[in-house]
């Protein structure tokens, strides 16, 4: 038998390395099983995950494993008796998290060893590359991608074939294929997980793309905050070179292509393709004017094509199964599947891959299990700082580019942050404006100054200092920034503000006119008091209060001095009788 431990970043953070070491310590001379690693299978909420295989068949999946379970796991494998670990076997309900998905980009994640070329090749790895190089012309490759309807998964949803064809038609002795693995959206981790779990899939997809456009050099621009992804990709590149799958005269076909990694410093604006190119060239990451487009004049002023990790992860599957098979999934305007990072106030957080055309309800309730503590669903933020908040009454919105755009949100790279009734939508808009104002490169006035002004207004509002006309001023600033900003970061920065005003205007008005936060989240707008009928005078709240704002005698109702109270919430957490009133 084989014991395989999920050791992606989420697994390691949850303690998978400790579990691995604990099981390894019990292996001394034990030949009844082998021990290995895999990447993230997507069920991040269940980590650490341990899979036990009997040959190629999954015999048992264990979840939320701790190092204390190591001895029981080894005994269960030795005896082939999984009742010994019954307390950590995955439930039927949690198994539905994967069974409800259609996995193409994530097809190998959590199933193979990301550091093993043999594992990847055992799943038809590099067969698509061999087929393309030996039996297809570049034009035929581009046509197959066109038939598939694959659109860029990085945010804009631009047809992949069109970008490849534009670069193909550009005349130059040197062309570049670039992978955008910068992934800067808060709450998004699809690209990281893909590279950590299946780096050869990225290499194979990029090689097919490089052949299609005529590139001889490939570059993966990945943020330095993804150290495990970089380590796995570096090893995969070395393995591919040793196997003649990368470098000179690949597979004896005469096609040669090199690959290297560039670790970015983490600027959000470098997710924009021309800012990324500037950074690659050693300059400050700032967007360029377009045209010329990268396909005509990109990296080092040569024709270049840029797609993100998820886009390339689909390519080999399309070549193996045909463009029509990919196009058969999804909707008329949005083909194939899409990966989402499901986070926030959700019961089952992790990576989800579904065919386009499913609804938000299918994902949040069908796969994600609904809201934590069964609280009412309030909204979901789609597309990160560039996206928008979609409210509960639009929960049945179809997931495709056109339908999401109609709500004021965007598909984006796939971040899906779920919110419940306790989330202040004004505060949420401020959170994203804090981010975009900080990450603005400063090149254009509309983005540099406009986002800062919006941030200031939102800060005033959540502090109870909002005034009449602030909502209208925010709307005016939003439209000006959208019209005047140079790149996608600035043009979409107003989206969180516009959508929260559109769907939750009453919350803005309550903050401004009543100086109240309906979600009871904005600290400056809260008042704490004690219900005299419920207070038992136990004094626990007074002992926990750091500002000594609570007074009263033992066994008598206490009071809170609002002038001293710092609204830290310690009294609420300590009171066993529900006597603290927060308004």
Instruction: Report the pLDDT averaged over residues 36-52.
Output: 97
For the segment 285-294, what is each residue's pLDDT rounded down to a tens digit?
999 988 999 9
The values of phi and psi at residue 530, to 5°, are -120, 130
Residue 2 confidence class, pLDDT cut points 50, 70, 90: very high
Residue 522 confidence class, pLDDT cut points 50, 70, 90: very high
Residue 28 confidence class, pLDDT cut points 50, 70, 90: confident
CATH of the domain at 65: 3.40.30.10
* Residue in this structure with the two tokens 């179809």, named with its chain if needed: 398
Do the bridges between strand 258-264 and strand 377-382 make them parallel or antiparallel, or are there none, so unpaired? unpaired
- What number of residues does the chain have? 583
**Can you tell me whether residue 3 is helix, strand or coil?**
strand
CA nearest to 189, candidates 342, 17, 27: 342
402 shares a domain with 450: no
**Exposed e or buried b for every residue in 511-547, given b needs 16+ CB within 10 A?**
bbeeebbbbebbeebbebebeeeebebbbbbbebbee
Q: Specify the higher pLDDT residue, 420 or 413.
A: 420
440 shares a domain with 293: no
For the segment 228-247, what is each residue's pLDDT rounded down to a tens digit?
999 999 999 999 999 999 99
Predicted pLDDT of residue 411: 87
Strand partners, 520: none
Residue 105 counted as domain residue: no
> Residue 253: is its pLDDT beyond 80?
yes
Residue 393 confidence class, pLDDT cut points 50, 70, 90: very high
For the segment 458-471, what is each residue's pLDDT rounded down to a tens digit?
999 999 999 999 99
Task: Give the list of residues 6+ apart from residue 530 with CB closer than 8 angstroms, or none.
Answer: 541, 550, 557, 558, 559, 560, 579, 580, 581
506 shares a domain with 450: yes
Kindly list the distances between the CA atom of residue 149 and the CA atoms of 142, 145, 472, 516, in Å, as whole numbers in the listed order: 11, 7, 40, 48
476 shares a domain with 349: no
372 shares a domain with 316: no
Q: 65, 99, 133 — which closes off a domain? A: 99
Residue 332 counted as domain residue: no
The string of DSSP codes covering 9-41 is HHHHHHTHHHHHHHHHTT-TT--S-EEEEE---
Percent of the chain residues past pLDDT 70, beyond the cut? 100
Number of domains present in the structure of the chain:
5
Residue 372 counted as domain residue: yes
For the segment 528-580, what is each residue's pLDDT rounded down to a tens digit?
999 999 999 999 999 999 999 999 999 999 999 999 999 999 999 999 999 99
Instruction: Answer whether 64's CB lies under 8 Å from 46's CB.
Output: yes
Q: 484, 514, 544 — which closes off a domain? A: 514
Residue 186 counted as domain residue: yes
The values of phi and psi at residue 285, to 5°, are -70, 95
CATH of the domain at 578: 3.30.70.20
Predicted pLDDT of residue 109: 97
Predicted pLDDT of residue 314: 97
Kindly list the distances between the CA atom of residue 562 and the CA atoms of 45, 457, 550, 551, 558, in Å, as whole numbers in the listed order: 40, 26, 9, 12, 13
367 shares a domain with 313: no
CA distance 358 to 362: 6
276 shares a domain with 169: yes
Window from 21-35, 76-90, 91-105, 512-526 with minimum mean pLDDT: 21-35
**Can you tell me whether residue 569 is helix, strand or coil?**
coil
Residue 258 confidence class, pLDDT cut points 50, 70, 90: very high
For the segment 319-329, what is each residue's pLDDT rounded down to a tens digit?
999 999 999 99
Predicted pLDDT of residue 363: 97
447 shares a domain with 311: no
- Extract long-range pairs of 475-479: CB within 8 Å, 24+ residues apart: 475/501, 477/450, 477/453, 478/454
Instruction: Report the pLDDT averaged over residues 211-238.
Output: 97
Predicted pLDDT of residue 322: 97
Predicted pLDDT of residue 412: 82
Mean of all residue pLDDT scores within the chain: 94
Domain of residue 411 covers: 337-420
Residue 294 counted as domain residue: yes
Kindly list the distances between the CA atom of residue 568 and the CA atoms of 189, 519, 546, 547, in Å, as whole numbers in the listed order: 32, 16, 8, 9
CA nearest to 343, candidates 312, 321, 371, 314: 371
CATH of the domain at 245: 3.40.50.11540
Instruction: Report the pLDDT averaged over residues 482-486.
Output: 92
Instruction: Report the pLDDT averaged over residues 501-510.
Output: 97
* Residue in this structure with the two tokens 């297809």, named with its chain if needed: 136
Q: 392, 420, 448 — which closes off a domain? A: 420
> Residue 388: is its pLDDT beyond 90?
yes
Instruction: Report the pLDDT averaged over residues 181-207.
Output: 93
> Residue 157: is its pLDDT beyond 90?
no
Across 265-346, where does the E strand assignment appear?
Answer: 304-308, 337-344
CATH of the domain at 404: 3.10.20.600
Q: Specify the higher pLDDT residue, 156 or 285.
A: 285
Residue 109 counted as domain residue: no
Question: Distance from CA of residue 555 to its chain's centroid?
Answer: 51
Residue 383 confidence class, pLDDT cut points 50, 70, 90: confident
Instruction: Report the pLDDT averaged over residues 242-266.
Output: 96
CATH of the domain at 468: 1.20.1440.230
Predicted pLDDT of residue 119: 96
Sign of the CA dihedral running 133, 137, 142, 147 = negative
364 shares a domain with 349: yes
Residue 73 counted as domain residue: yes
Q: Is the peptide bond before 291 cis (omega within 30 degrees of 0)?
A: yes
257 shares a domain with 147: yes
319 shares a domain with 344: no
283 shares a domain with 202: yes
Predicted pLDDT of residue 489: 85
Window from 83-87, 153-157, 405-409 with minimum mean pLDDT: 153-157
**Can you tell me whether residue 439 is helix, strand or coil?**
helix
For the segment 121-153, what is each residue's pLDDT rounded down to a tens digit?
999 999 999 999 999 999 999 999 999 999 998
Predicted pLDDT of residue 168: 97
Instruction: State the angle between helix axes of 470-484 and 445-462 in degrees (0 to 180), rounded to the nearest 10.
Output: 160
Predicted pLDDT of residue 447: 92
């Amino acid at each position: 038998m084989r014991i395989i431990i999920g050791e992606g970043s989420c697994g390691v953070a949850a303690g998978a390395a400790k579990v691995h070491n604990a099981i390894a310590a019990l292996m001394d001379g034990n030949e009844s099983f082998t021990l290995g690693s895999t990447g993230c299978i997507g069920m991040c909420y269940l980590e650490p995950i341990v899979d036990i295989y009997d040959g190629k068949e999954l015999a048992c999946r264990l979840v939320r494993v701790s190092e204390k379970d190591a001895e029981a796991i080894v005994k269960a494998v030795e005896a082939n008796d999984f009742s010994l670990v019954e307390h950590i076997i995955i439930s039927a309900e949690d198994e539905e998290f994967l069974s409800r998905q259609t996995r193409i980009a994530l097809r190998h994640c959590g199933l193979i060893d990301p550091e093993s070329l043999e594992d990847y090749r055992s799943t038809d790895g590099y067969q698509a590359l061999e087929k393309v190089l030996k039996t297809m012309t570049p034009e035929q490759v581009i046509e197959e991608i066109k038939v598939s309807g694959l659109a860029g998964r990085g945010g804009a949803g631009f047809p992949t074939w069109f970008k490849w064809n534009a670069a193909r038609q550009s005349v130059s002795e040197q062309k570049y294929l670039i992978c955008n693995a910068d992934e800067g959206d808060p709450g998004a981790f699809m690209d990281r997980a893909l590279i950590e779990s299946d780096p050869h899939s990225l290499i194979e997809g990029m090689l097919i793309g490089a052949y299609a456009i005529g590139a001889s050099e490939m570059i993966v621009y990945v943020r330095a905050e993804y150290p495990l992804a970089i380590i796995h990709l570096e090893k995969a590149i070395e393995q591919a070179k040793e196997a003649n799958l990368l470098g000179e005269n690949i597979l004896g076909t005469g096609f040669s292509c090199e690959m290297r990694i560039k670790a970015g410093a983490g600027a959000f604006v470098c997710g924009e393709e021309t800012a990324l190119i500037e950074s690659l060239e050693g300059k400050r990451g700032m967007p360029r004017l377009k045209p010329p487009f990268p396909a005509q004049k990109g990296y080092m002023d040569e024709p270049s094509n840029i797609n993100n990790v998820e886009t390339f992860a689909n390519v080999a599957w399309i070549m193996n199964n045909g463009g029509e098979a990919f196009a058969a999934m999804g909707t008329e305007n949005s083909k194939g599947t899409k990966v989402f990072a499901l986070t926030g106030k959700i019961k089952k957080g992790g990576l989800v891959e579904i065919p386009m055309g499913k609804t938000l309800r299918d994902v949040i309730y069908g796969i994600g299990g609904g809201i934590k503590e069964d609280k009412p669903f309030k909204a979901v933020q789609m597309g990160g700082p560039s996206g928008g908040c979609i409210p509960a009454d639009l929960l049945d919105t179809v997931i495709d580019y056109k339908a999401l755009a109609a709500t004021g949100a965007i598909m984006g790279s796939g971040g899906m942050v779920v919110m419940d009734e306790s989330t202040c939508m004004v505060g949420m808009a401020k959170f994203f404006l804090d981010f975009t104002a900080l990450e603005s490169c400063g090149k254009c006035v509309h983005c540099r100054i406009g986002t800062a002004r919006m941030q200031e207004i939102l800060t005033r509002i959540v502090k109870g200092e909002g005034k009449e006309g602030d909502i209208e001023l925010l709307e005016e600033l939003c439209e000006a920034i959208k019209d005047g900003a140079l790149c996608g970061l600035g043009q979409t920065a107003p989206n969180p503000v516009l959508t929260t005003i559109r769907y939750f205007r009453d919350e803005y008005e309550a903050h401004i006119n009543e100086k109240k936060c309906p979600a009871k989240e904005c600290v400056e707008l809260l008042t704490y008091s004690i219900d005299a009928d419920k207070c038992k005078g136990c004094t626990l709240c007074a002992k926990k209060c750091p500002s000594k704002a609570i007074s009263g005698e033992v066994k008598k109702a206490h009071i809170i001095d609002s002038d001293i109270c710092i609204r830290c919430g310690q009294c609420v957490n300590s009171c066993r009788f529900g006597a603290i009133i927060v308004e």
